[in-house]
Amino acid sequence: MNLPMPTQTLSHPADAAASRVPVSELASRFGLPLVFVALCVALAFASPYFFTWRNWGDILRQTSINGILAIGMTCVILTKGIDLSVGSVLALAGIVSGLVAAAGHNLVVVLVTGIACGAALGALNGVAIARFRVPPFVATLGMLSIARGVTYIVNDGSPVANLPDDYLALGIGKLGPLAMPVLIFAAVALVFWWLLRSTTYGRYLYAVGGNEKSARTSGIGVRKVVGSVYVLSGALASLAGMILAARTTSALPQAGVSYELDAIAAVVIGGTSLSGGQGGVVGTLFGALLIGVINNGLNLLGVSSYYQQIAKGLIIVLAVLIDVARKQQR
């Protein structure tokens, strides 16, 4: 009696290979979150204060300023640009908005004035880069110096103190258990995540950064797109400047020095390619949080701020090397 042979499903080797996700792709997707979690676990063992609510509240408040700057920087770098002026724009917007607030104007006027100040400086960057073809590094480096000089001139190098309570609420106010800077940061992140992911404008940013010639051929207004990201970066730098002035209870002309480096570091660590066309807000959030956790952890462990600068520099170089390796694989 012949029994029927059991049926076997044979899979082609190509199908099996296709079903496997490459290790490099997994590392690209989940490497940063895993590093972030591992770092948090290590710091929790190193310091009993790390996982306290008070400490995490400090981390989130400190990260909010850099995070807002980094979101604007993400838009710029997606188009293969760079904005070195955000720290100086932050300081100038803080001084200008502080003077307007101290003059007795309401918060809406203060916010509009401060954001308009940064957007105008960003527009100057955008015109120089998009219309006159000045390299982004050169144009924004020049604006870094110009905006810092104007910041000292506007109030004769003096801080603006005696800020009204409604202005101070931007930096030290709370809504329930969450600080106002954290809520503003979360709102900005959500808006720009939606903007990049679900709008035509967001697709234009990726298209221009991926291949500017192809984007122009397909009818995208490349100059307008490139110019607009510097306006956005300047506006967000102004918002961060007002939050920082409110947190410190006075607008300082020396505020924001080297903040552009932390913002760029957060973006690059978050996986946004310096070659443009690849990255996003979620990665930038993890990058900003990673920098915030590193700074906080080193402070808790009593490490000198000089060594913290070295650590951040090494992290930036490592992130760029990873980006170069990823591009070579593609």
* Digit-coded pLDDT (tens) for 32-61: 888 889 989 999 999 999 999 999 999 999
Q: What percent of the chain has pLDDT over 90?
A: 76
Is 73's pLDDT higher than 70?
yes
Instruction: pLDDT band for 20, please (50, 70, 90 cuts).
Output: low
Task: Tell me the pLDDT tens digit for each residue of 226-268.
Answer: 999 999 999 999 999 999 999 999 999 999 999 999 999 999 9
Q: Where in the chain are the domains?
A: 50-329
Is 11's pLDDT higher than 50?
no
What pLDDT is attached to residue 24?
A: 58
Task: Tell me the pLDDT tens digit for each residue of 180-215.
Answer: 999 999 999 999 999 999 999 999 999 999 999 999
pTM of the predicted structure, to 2 decimals: 0.90
Instruction: pLDDT band for 306, please (50, 70, 90 cuts).
Output: confident
- CATH class given for the domain over 50-329: mainly alpha
Instruction: pLDDT band for 82, please (50, 70, 90 cuts).
Output: very high
Is 149's pLDDT higher than 60?
yes
200: helix, coil or strand?
A: helix
CA nearest to 244, candidates 69, 50, 45, 102: 69
Instruction: pLDDT band for 18, please (50, 70, 90 cuts).
Output: very low
Instruction: pLDDT band for 17, please (50, 70, 90 cuts).
Output: very low
Higher pLDDT, 144 or 25: 144
Of 10-24, 160-174, 196-210, least confident by mean pLDDT is 10-24
36-42: list long-range contacts, CB under 8 Å, 24+ apart.
36/286, 36/289, 36/290, 36/293, 39/290, 39/293, 39/294, 39/297, 40/293
Kindly tell me the sign of the dihedral angle through the C-alpha atoms of 153, 158, 159, 164: negative
Q: What percent of the chain has pLDDT over 70?
A: 90
Q: How far is CA 47 from CA 42, 63, 81, 217, in A?
A: 9, 20, 39, 56
Instruction: pLDDT band for 9, please (50, 70, 90 cuts).
Output: very low
Is 105's pLDDT higher than 60?
yes
What pLDDT is attached to residue 32?
A: 81
Average pLDDT over residues 132-136: 97
Neighbours of 310 (CB within 10 A): 10
Instruction: pLDDT band for 23, please (50, 70, 90 cuts).
Output: low
